[in-house]
C-alpha cells in the first residue's frame, strides 16, 4: 500500500513542480511520510487509536515533513 502512495505522491509532486524527477532527499521525505501515514491508518482501522477521520487528517497534515509543505499545501 505505501508503494502506491509513494509512487502517486511522487508523480503529483513531479507534475506540480514541472520536474522529471525528484531529488533523493525529497524522495526520502515522500517515502517516510507515506510509510508513516499508511501505518497509522492501519492502526486506526484496527482500533488502536480513537479519532474521527477529520482528526486523523489533521494529524497527517501536521506531521507533513517541512520540505514537502510548500509543495503540498500551496493553494
Secondary structure of 43-66 in the HEC alphabet? Answer: HHHCCCCCCCHHHHHHHHHHCCCH
Cell numbers that stand for 14 in this block: 513531479
Residue 75 binned pLDDT confidence (cut-offs 50, 70, 90)? low
Single pTM value for the model: 0.86
The whole domain housing 57 covers 2-72
Residue 1 pLDDT greater than 80, yes or no: no
Residue 51 binned pLDDT confidence (cut-offs 50, 70, 90)? very high
- Residue with the bigger pLDDT between 2 and 71: it is 71
Please tell me the total count of domains within the chain: 1
Residue 63 pLDDT greater than 90, yes or no: yes
Rg (CA), the chain: 13
Mean model confidence pLDDT for the chain: 94
The CA distance from 46 to 42, in Å, is: 6
Amino acid at each position: 500500500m505505501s508503494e502506491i502512495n509513494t509512487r502517486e505522491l511522487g508523480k503529483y509532486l513531479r507534475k506540480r513542480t514541472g520536474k522529471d524527477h525528484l531529488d533523493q532527499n525529497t524522495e526520502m521525505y515522500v517515502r517516510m511520510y507515506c510509510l508513516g501515514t499508511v501505518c497509522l491508518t492501519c492502526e486506526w482501522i484496527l482500533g488502536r487509536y480513537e479519532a474521527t477521520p477529520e482528526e486523523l487528517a489533521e494529524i497527517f497534515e501536521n506531521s507533513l515533513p517541512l520540505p514537502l509543505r510548500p509543495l503540498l499545501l500551496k493553494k
